[in-house]
């Protein structure tokens, strides 16, 4: 799984591998401290994943929302630019 993340200082988009699991699931990948807690779909049929940080001692766990997209449905690299991406 990959994510696009906007650098808040430069406005540039950076691609990162996302592994929600341990090293037996994603060998060699950076292991995320996130735990998937929910999936959802909006009225436009867009699919989202909600995850929280794994920290059992914290009563309020910070979370993130990812939009799941099909990379085969996007434009080619020459048409894919920052204007076509949205940060959620």
pLDDT in tens, 13-36: 887 776 666 666 666 655 566 677
The confidence band for 78, taking pLDDT boundaries of 50, 70 and 90, is: low
Q: Are 37 and 24 in contact (CB under 8 A)?
A: no
Identify the pLDDT of residue 8.
81
- Cα dihedral sign for 35, 86, 69, 13? negative
Higher pLDDT pick, 60 / 56? 60
Q: What percent of the chain has pLDDT over 70?
A: 50
pTM assigned to the model:
0.47
């Amino acid at each position: 799984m990959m994510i696009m993340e906007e650098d808040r200082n430069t406005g540039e988009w950076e691609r990162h591998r996302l592994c929600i699991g341990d090293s037996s699931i994603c060998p060699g990948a950076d292991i995320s401290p996130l735990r998937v807690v929910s999936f959802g779909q909006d009225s436009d049929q867009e699919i989202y994943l909600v995850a929280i940080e794994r920290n059992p001692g914290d009563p309020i766990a910070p979370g993130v929302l990812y939009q799941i997209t099909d990379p085969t449905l996007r434009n080619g690299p020459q048409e894919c630019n920052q204007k076509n991406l949205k940060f959620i």
